[in-house]
Structure 1
């Protein structure tokens, strides 16, 4: 490259830099100055995301209710209904009768496997999860003594989540397989 070409290239870089750095306007680069304020509406949450969020919230609520084995915890019905809610409530009631509580929380890795569109609207989402309950174990109430035979681990979980008439999504069914199933 000749000396003249190098000087021209350097001057070009300096000119570009000074144009962008020399802007004394209070408007940030890339923004336009306008006296009219505009707002951007957030994008709607896709139904699949709402279904996964409801699925995860169901497990959080179940973990919270499990700390005292409270089968009537109000948060349970916010994210589960039908067979799913019955299973959760029965499980918690049985733990309460046995004098057990659950400590910790489950880990989830949900994946959407099927989306049912009825009339062009998503109504049902099916989820497959490989949940890990090794950090969510049962103990005898009032002690740190583990319940017999508890170890936990990774389990395959299949769930169905449906849009409800009130506009919310709730888990309607789920099936948990044995430890080591995923």
Structure 2
């Protein structure tokens, strides 16, 4: 499972560097309150993990369906709903032959709302689908495909509700 990307602000480091570089010739400035951070608290890791698990589960169901060129998979509704489920079903209907391999994912949590107890997470995937291909075909050029996903939590589980899949070379 891929972990959500964590970004750390360098503001504290820059403030410390600026203080360390001040000249000793001038008197120290009067003590002030420490700077107040306006950054939003990070979303809970469980929100990102739940959203990622739903996203990866959705793709696993689609890959399983592609193995026997079926147009549906019973697990899809467990991980996707609405437009995302419709898009995945539409893609499965166009599969004409059994597939091998599977896409790989490089996921980032872009946002989670509300911060305290997220029920909506935006993911960005840089997918490599070059090894997921019809049986007997060589690897394809389906690399670096940007996928933007919205994953929502209802009372029971996380589900992918919206997807935007860009073309190769878009991430």
Shorter-chain TM range is 0.5 to 0.7
Asked which structure has the greater CA Rg, the reply is 1
Following TM superposition, where does structure 1 have runs of at least 4 consecutive aligned residues deviating by more than 6 angstroms?
A: none
2:132, 2:94 → 1: CA distance? 17
Unaligned runs of 5+ in 1: 1-43
> 1:121: Cα distance to partner?
2.8
**Which of 133, 139, 149 is the aligned partner of 1:137?**
133
Aligned residues: 128
Give the 3-state SS of the residue equivalent to 2:51 in structure 1: helix
Cα deviation, 1:56-107, whole Å, max 9, x if unaligned, reads 1111111111111222210111111111110111111122xxx323221100
How far did 1:45 drift? 6.8
Q: Which consecutive residues of structure 2, in runs of 5 or more, have no partner in the other structure? A: 1-43
Instruction: Give TM-score, length-normalised by structure 1.
Output: 0.64
Work out the CA distance in 1 between the residues paired with 2:81 and 2:54. 11
Q: Which has the higher strand share?
A: 1
Cα distance change on mapping 1:156 and 1:45 into 2, 3 Å: closer
Q: What is the alpha-carbon distance in structure 1 between the residues aligned to residue 64 and residue 70 of structure 2?
A: 9
Tell me the secondary structure at the aligned position of residue 100 of structure 1.
Answer: coil
The structure carrying a bigger helix percent of its residues is 1
- The answer for the alignment partner of 1:34 in structure 2 is none
Cα contact 1:61–1:76 (8 A) shared by 2: yes
Distance 1:53 1:81, change over 3 A: same
Structure with more contact order per residue of length (Cα contacts < 8 Å, sep ≥ 6):
2
> Match of 1:109?
106
RMSD of aligned Cα (Å): 2.2
Structure 2 counterpart of 1:161: 151
Q: Secondary structure of the equivalent of 1:52? A: helix
- Alpha-carbon offset, residue 117 of structure 1: 1.0
Partners of 1:51 and 1:69 in 2: CA distance:
27
Are 2:84 and 1:121 equivalent residues in the alignment? no
Task: Say which SS state the counterpart of residue 68 (structure 2) adopts.
Answer: coil
